[in-house]
C-alpha cells in the first residue's frame, strides 16, 4: 500500500545491491514513489487514501480520522481503516 504514496520532497537512496549499473556505481537513485520503511510513507499513503475517499463523497469522522461514512439510499456505509487494512 505504501508504494501508492506521492512524495512531496526529493529523496535519494543508494543503488540496491545486485542492481548497480556498471560504470555508475557512485550514482544514487531519486525516488518517485514512497517505499515501505520511509518515515514519510504512512502519512503520504493516508493523504492519498483520504483524498480518494473524500472525492467519493465519504465524510471523515470528527472523532476518529480513520472512520469514513457515506449514506446511500438511506443506508449507512462505514469504512474503518487500520494502518492499510479496510
pLDDT tens for residues 16-45?
888 888 888 888 888 887 777 777 777 888
Return the pLDDT at 1.
Answer: 61
Q: Where are the domains of the chain?
A: 2-57
**Whether residue 71 has pLDDT greater than 90:** yes
Return the pLDDT at 13.
Answer: 84
**Whether residue 84 has pLDDT greater than 80:** no
Please name the residue that has the C-alpha cell 469522522.
61
**Whether residue 53 has pLDDT greater than 90:** yes
- Are 34 and 6 contacting, i.e. CB atoms less than 8 angstroms apart? yes
The model's pTM is: 0.67
Q: Which of 70, 75, 69, 11 is nearest to 40 (CA)?
A: 11
Return the pLDDT at 76.
Answer: 96
Amino acid at each position: 500500500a505504501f508504494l501508492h504514496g506521492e512524495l512531496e520532497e526529493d529523496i535519494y537512496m543508494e543503488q540496491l545491491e545486485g542492481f548497480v549499473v556498471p560504470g555508475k556505481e557512485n550514482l544514487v537513485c531519486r525516488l518517485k514513489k514512497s517505499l515501505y520503511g520511509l518515515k514519510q510513507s504512512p502519512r503520504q499513503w493516508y493523504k492519498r487514501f483520504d483524498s480518494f475517499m473524500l472525492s467519493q463523497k465519504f465524510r471523515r469522522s470528527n472523532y476518529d480520522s480513520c472512520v469514513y461514512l457515506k449514506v446511500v439510499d438511506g443506508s449507512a456505509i462505514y469504512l474503518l481503516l487500520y494502518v492499510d487494512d479496510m
